[in-house]
Amino acid sequence: MDLTFSEEEEAFRQEVRAWIPEAMPEEMREKARGAGGFTPEDSATWHRILHEKGWAAPHWPKEVGGTGWDAARRFIFNEEMELAGAPQLSVFGLSMVAPLIISFGTDAQKKRFLPKILSGEEFWCQGYSEPGSGSDLASLRTTAEDAGDHFIVNGQKTWTSYAQYADWVFCLVRTDQSVKKQAGITFLLIDLKSPGVEVKPMLTLGHTPAFCDTFFDNVKVPKENVVGGINQGWTMAKALLGHERTLLAMIGPSRNVLQKVKRIAASKTVNGRPMLEDPLWRAKIARLEMRFRAHTMVSYRALADQQKGKMPGPESSILKVVGTKLIQELTELAMEVMGESSLTWYNEGLCPPVEESIGPYFCYERAATIYGGSNEIQRNVIAKMILQLPSS
Amino acid sequence: MDFELDQDQQMLAKTVGDFAKNESPVARFRQLRDTDIGYEPAAWRKMGELGWMGVPFAESVGGFGGSFVECALIIENLASTLVPEPYLASVVLGGMTLARAGNAAQHEAYLTPMIEGETTLALAYSEAQSRHDVSSVETTATPNGSGYKLSGEKVWVLNGHHADHLIVSAKAPGGVTLFVVPRDADGVNVMVAKTIDGQKAAFIRFEDVTVDGDSRLGEEGSGAAVLDRTMDYAAAAAVAEGVGITTTMLRMTVDYLGTREQFGVKIGSFQALQHRAVDMYAETELLRSISIASMVRADEDDTRTRRADISAAKYQLATGGIWVAQQSLQLHGGIGATDEHDIGLYFKRMYALNALFGDQEHHVARFASDPTFAEVAV
């Protein structure tokens, strides 16, 4: 049993840690230290910088532009990026549709889509949920009607996050009404510049530009844009879900917020001394940090499995439920530590940048327990698949 | 990074687990809890023959030079059926203290026979006022010729009612010092104390007990540092035992949800109970994961590295672990609140583990007072 990263892995960590501030433009470094609040343009810039270094897609196979790193190096890389507060690259292309195209796409699809995802020339968004289909995703009603060599798509997708900045959307659409609901779904790639597509952005609780509604009105989509075969969409969606799980453990963001909590607590006083020296506040922070430690160990167990080329054990199923709750508790703690300053809402220069960043982020992360399969749905699945409790 | 047990460790875990299941089912614990000793010296000898007590000790004292990981695995697996033999009290508390503080002659006299299963040990460190502070010692060791005279009272000495040898902390002129005292020495007054978990401990009064210089472990004043280290081992051991207990309680509860019927269906089909069970699973896996960290770190000499994971683990036992115990009982319904059903026995043992070797507040405060805790990058 060995809890530590190897010397080579630690050396790799130092390499990444030293590279980030060198590579990051000064303006972005300031945001990383303080408020965050990266714009989609920042994210795109950072994407290009990473791409030049060859680090844009660590998790892809080397043949298509990945780094060839093993699971430990990928983990360290992500941890360092998140710890440094670097802008997150859009996951929809790099981490969601691309792995699916790599596994199930045609050669033509690989050639057409992967290079532009890798370089950041084309951004993607996800078209799964609909106004009437949230947790019960398979009930979706957006239709793709067979019109010979193409489909005609009609319907509405919601929570198509960042669609206003995206070039393409990957959708689940209904291609067969006559069969069981899961069996009539197809995974379809749609060019957002197609005639008949309309994107309407929606503010998140944190007033960040993320959510959108996307409408399809007789949109013509070539059949060659189907991934994995017609009516195979549900299988594709499940395969994609497996890629998502480790993204949702929130290890890096939690570590980042914990640091912010301490920075804020060190800068404020209570009873005549820094809050960070006050036993009650220290204890409050310590409790969450200890829980974070246990949570980190669960994800390390999953990582060590992957490192050995094995599927992560069943315990990895709890990472999303625990990790998203933890990031919410940490952002709440940050709000508490700020006291009255937690009232602040996008006032440039009024409070220190790190404090200005907390409120919107706290609000934004309320979605964490909802997206990626709500935590209630996660529990349903774990109860059946892992604990094998009886169905109702 | 590697969290898998090696082949020997897997074998050890399986052997201990099989022993617990086949030779010491919970029914055995029930029978023995009403006896004077509460366990069987014959079973202890057998555990000695199997080599389990020697696992964390060096070969020079009759041990096998393993690590604390093996020791924790034994504890975790013995917990699955509440095996009552005093492994934690004798091996971890008594043995680890003796191994660290004693010299070769003392190891041979007291540690070797314990490893062989011939004797048991107990650590008399806690006093009425001390509450997790091992340096709070009012028992005195007054120089007396070439030896000492011990006076004072120790409380909740685990296995103190039956141990052959007691390791006692007392304040000598040079500070807190450890001594080995036979339980049957003149002036050692043992009162048996029943504990909430169906086990036994002792309150022990030392009335001018004369010991010779050879029974002093290490230098005068060296005791607190050794005990501090022992407490970390003990906390990690309690967490490992908590893993064995919560894992068993979770399994029993999931089984119960899958068999008990009300309203014409299995109660495990109710979503409210399914979600509760999933959260219990999550807390159990958090405990197991941080327990792995704490058992590995227990042998670590660097205080900060060691303590961070051990405190985090004991904290998870006190929070998530205790919650699993509470919910296991709750989901068993009325039968869970009886002495007839085993679930309550595990429940009570969790509360004993929670109270020992530093409670939640102790470990939160310790974790938060580490200087690295307040180091922030500005």
Averaged pLDDT of chain B = 96
Dist. CA B59–CA A135, nearest whole Å: 59
Q: List, for residues A288-339, the tens digit of each pLDDT value.
A: 999 999 999 999 888 888 777 777 788 888 999 999 999 999 999 999 999 9
Q: Select from B162, B193, B220 the last residue of a domain.
A: B220
Residues B243 and B361 in one domain: yes
> How high is the pLDDT of residue B61?
82
Query: Of A238-242, B5-9, B126-130, which has the strongest mean pLDDT?
Result: B126-130
> How high is the pLDDT of residue A35?
63
First to last CA, chain B: 30
Residues of A annotated as catalytic are 244
Q: Do A283 and B368 touch (CB under 8 A)?
A: yes
Which CATH number characterizes residue B33's domain? Answer: 1.10.540.10
Give me the DSSP letters along B336-355. GGSSSSTHHHHHHHHHHHHH
Dist. CA A263–CA B344, nearest whole Å: 45
Residues B331 and B193 in one domain: no
Tell me, yes or no, if B365 comes closer than 8 A to chain A by beta carbon: yes
Is the pLDDT at B6 greater than 70, yes or no? Answer: yes
In a domain, B1, yes or no: no
> How high is the pLDDT of residue A245?
61
Residues B229 and B357 in one domain: yes
In chain B, whose CA is at the least distance from the CA of A6?
Answer: B1
- Structural domains in chain B (count): 3
Which residues 233-262 of B are in CB contact (within 8 Å) with A? 254, 257-258
Chain B neighbors of A318, CB-CB under 8 A = 278, 281-282, 285-286
Q: List, for residues B39-73, the tens digit of each pLDDT value.
A: 999 999 999 999 999 999 988 888 888 899 999 99
| pLDDT, average across residues A252-257 | 89
Q: Do A303 and B1 touch (CB under 8 A)?
A: yes
Q: Which amino acid is at A338?
A: M
In a domain, B256, yes or no: yes
Residues B243 and B324 in one domain: yes
Dist. CA A119–CA A169, nearest whole Å: 17
In a domain, B342, yes or no: yes
Chain B neighbors of A383, CB-CB under 8 A = 274-275, 277-278
Q: Select from B155, B187, B220 the last residue of a domain.
A: B220
pLDDT-derived band of residue A239, with 50, 70 and 90 as boundaries? Answer: confident
Least confident window among A37-41, A299-303, B321-325, B333-337? A37-41
CATH class of A124-232: mainly beta
Secondary structure percentages of chain A, helix, strand, coil, to 5: 55, 15, 30
Shared fold status for A124-232 and A250-385: no
Give the closest of A1, A4, A389 to B292, CB-based. Answer: A1
Dist. CA A213–CA A205, nearest whole Å: 16
| pLDDT, average across residues A41-67 | 93
Chain A neighbors of B266, CB-CB under 8 A = 390
Tell me, yes or no, if B27 comes closer than 8 A to chain A by beta carbon: no
Tell me, yes or no, if A389 comes closer than 8 A to chain B by beta carbon: yes
CATH level 3 topology of A250-385: Butyryl-CoA Dehydrogenase, subunit A; domain 3 (1.20.140)
pTM score > 0.90 for this model?
yes
Give backbone dihedrals phi and psi of A152, rounded to 5 degrees, phi first.
Answer: -110, 115
Chain A neighbors of B368, CB-CB under 8 A = 279, 282-283, 285-286
Q: Which domain holds residue B233?
A: 224-374
The better pLDDT of the pair A210, A289 is held by: A289
Tell me, yes or no, if B271 comes closer than 8 A to chain A by beta carbon: yes
**For residues B73, B76, B80 and B81, what is the CA-based torsion angle, rounded to 10 degrees?**
90
> How high is the pLDDT of residue A246?
65
The better pLDDT of the pair B3, A321 is held by: A321
> How high is the pLDDT of residue B37?
97
Which CATH number characterizes residue B239's domain? Answer: 1.20.140.10
Averaged pLDDT of chain A = 92
Write the CB contacts of B42 (distance below 8 Å, at least 6 apart in sequence). Answer: none
pLDDT-derived band of residue A244, with 50, 70 and 90 as boundaries? Answer: low
> How high is the pLDDT of residue A82?
84
In a domain, B2, yes or no: no
> How high is the pLDDT of residue A71?
82
Give the closest of A72, A283, A304 to B364, CB-based. Answer: A283
Dist. CA A126–CA A131, nearest whole Å: 14
Least confident window among A72-81, A217-226, B17-26, B197-206? A72-81
Tell me, yes or no, if B304 comes closer than 8 A to chain A by beta carbon: no
> How high is the pLDDT of residue A243?
62
**Contact in structure between A90 and A162 (CB atoms under 8 Å):** yes
